[in-house]
């Protein structure tokens, strides 16, 4: 199995690249954002809780996210996948440790964290543009966007060090055409 943590701040292009890479490498794409949006749209208890946090630009607590992700990975393992692309998870060192232990129980591991690196102002522009068509309230307000980016750096940048310690961190330029960025990501994945 190849298990990739696709990383980067909001608006870096993780979702777009995950869709391309899942097809290219026959991986299962697990997006915590998609999972939360599903629950929010359907008004589940988890969705209501998640919405309360995301509308303020904050991250959903680890305990909720961990349980949701474990259930989804366990369910999808039955499909005998070639691996997973984790998009939006882990976001904290504690989540990374939970993921490590959980995957170890499943006789697999994270093979690489591949981070899309994009300047903040480009991220703000991308998200505001996406907000015009996405219908996502958190993409339409520049103040909330900047808080999401700041929250990313405060809570998740430490993961770079975590995966560097295991020699599993790879930074990739996230600016350019979708194809150019995919090629850069593929160069890393092909070497794993």
Feature table: binding site: 11-16, 32, 37, 58-60, 88-91, 95, 130, 136, 148, 176
Q: What is the DSSP string of 111-151?
A: -EEEEEE--HHHHHHHHHHHHHHH--GGGT-HHHHHHHHHH
Q: Which residues are annotated as a binding site for ATP?
A: 11-16, 130, 176
Helix crossing, 62-77 with 93-105: angle to 10°?
30
**What is the H or E stretch that residue 162 is in?**
helix 158-165
DSSP state of 58: P
Q: Which residues are annotated as a binding site for AMP?
A: 32, 37, 58-60, 88-91, 95, 136, 148
Helix crossing, 178-190 with 14-25: angle to 10°?
50
DSSP state of 174: -
Find the Cα–Cα–Cα–Cα dihedral 54, 56, 59, 63, rounded to 10°. Answer: -80
Contact indicator for 101, 127 with CB cutoff of 8 Å: no
Helices of type H across 26-141: 32-41, 45-54, 62-77, 93-105, 120-134
């Amino acid at each position: 199995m190849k298990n990739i943590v696709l990383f980067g701040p909001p608006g870096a292009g993780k979702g777009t690249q995950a869709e391309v890479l899942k097809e290219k490498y026959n991986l299962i794409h697990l997006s915590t954002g998609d999972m939360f949006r599903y629950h929010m749209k359907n008004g589940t208890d988890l969705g209501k809780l998640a919405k309360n946090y995301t509308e303020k630009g904050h991250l959903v607590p680890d305990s909720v996210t961990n349980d949701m992700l474990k259930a989804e990975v366990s369910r999808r393992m039955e499909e005998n996948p070639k691996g997973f692309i984790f998009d939006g998870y882990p976001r904290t060192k504690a989540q990374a440790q939970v993921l490590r232990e959980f995957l170890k129980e499943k006789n697999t591991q994270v093979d690489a964290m591949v981070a899309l690196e994009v300047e903040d102002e480009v991220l703000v522009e991308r998200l505001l543009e996406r907000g015009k068509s996405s219908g996502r309230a958190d993409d339409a307000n520049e103040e909330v966007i900047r808080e999401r980016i700041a929250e990313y750096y405060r809570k998740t940048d430490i993961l770079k060090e975590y995966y560097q310690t295991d020699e599993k961190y790879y930074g990739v330029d996230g600016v350019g055409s979708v194809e150019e960025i995919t090629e850069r990501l593929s160069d890393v994945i092909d070497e794993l």
